[in-house]
Amino acid sequence: MKSDLPRVLLTGFDPFGGETVNPSWEAVRRLDAQIVRRHQVIALQLPTCFGQSLRALRAALTRHAPVLVISVGQAGGRSRVSLERVAINIDDARIADNAGREPVDRAVVRGAPAAYFSTLPIKAQLAALQKAGLPAEISQTAGTFVCNHVFYGLMHALRDTPRVRGGFVHIPFLPEQAVAHAGAPSLSLDVIVASLRVIVDTALATRRDARVAAGATH
């Protein structure tokens, strides 16, 4: 669907690690072409592959020129929607990606800063999610697999365009996945989609983030 409205880019991943579904893609594609605060949502599936994922993301940034970019990934074992605070410049894979790559202690971008912070209003998003009765948290780590790779690559790509905000959100397994993981925590797809819509809406509505405690002791 073509539109002259400003654009929001949402990305999810294809299944990896033996899964047959990835909730991040199932959720973001539900929001494709929707209008939120007079912005059109565009959903993009990224390959769960080091390198390839960033090439696809950079191409989408050029093609769509979004004003807001939120990448979403699966974090099996987590019980809440996790708003990621920081991306680090390291690839350190515990398992192989979908292309068989398993980098260890390799920079996402050579010579670039050690880390970037999300430019999303994560505290305001947390408050909005909690007000809506949706399970959410601030996370201090996006891991060192392809999710962090994309998060870091996104923030590096946006470093010189402060008008474009970006960040990363991790989501739990779907219930059908949890069955195969000894009853791991899960959320329904409807809850995940509702959470992402609140996250997008709050980002578009908020210029200055809330100042509330959401830190960690470990």
Please report the pLDDT score of residue 183 as a whole number: 87
* 3-state DSSP assignment of residue 127: helix
Percent of the chain with pLDDT over 90: 94
pLDDT of 2 over the 90 cut: no
Distance (Å, whole) CA 148 – CA 166: 13
Q: In the annotation, is 84 catalytic?
A: yes
> Would you call 47 exposed, middle or buried from its count of C-beta atoms within 10 A (0-12, 13-18, 19+)?
middle
Indicate the residue type of 131: K
Closest CA to 134 of 89, 180, 79: 79
**Residue owning tokens 């830190």:** 215
Find how far residue 1's CA is from the centre of its chain.
Answer: 23
Averaged pLDDT for residues 81-95: 98
Q: What kind and span of H or E run contains 165?
A: strand 165-171
Q: In the annotation, is 49 catalytic?
A: no
Q: What pLDDT, in 10s, does the model give residues 96-127?
A: 999 999 999 999 999 999 999 999 999 999 99
Averaged pLDDT for residues 79-101: 98
- From the list 39, 149, 156, 170, the catalytic residue is 170
pLDDT of 217 over the 90 cut: no
CB of 153 closer than 8 Å to CB of 106: no
Q: What pLDDT, in 10s, does the model give residues 12-37?
A: 999 999 999 999 999 999 999 999 99
Indicate the residue type of 54: L
Distance (Å, whole) CA 82 – CA 97: 22
Strand partners, 42: 9
Structure tokens at 154: 């996104």
- From the list 39, 147, 149, 156, the catalytic residue is 147
Indicate the residue type of 156: H
Q: What pLDDT, in 10s, does the model give residues 154-192?
A: 999 999 999 999 999 999 999 999 999 998 999 999 999
Query: For the chain, which domains are there?
Result: 7-205 (3.40.630.20)
Averaged pLDDT for residues 134-155: 98
pTM: 0.97
- From the list 49, 84, 149, 156, the catalytic residue is 84
Give the mean pLDDT of the chain. Answer: 96
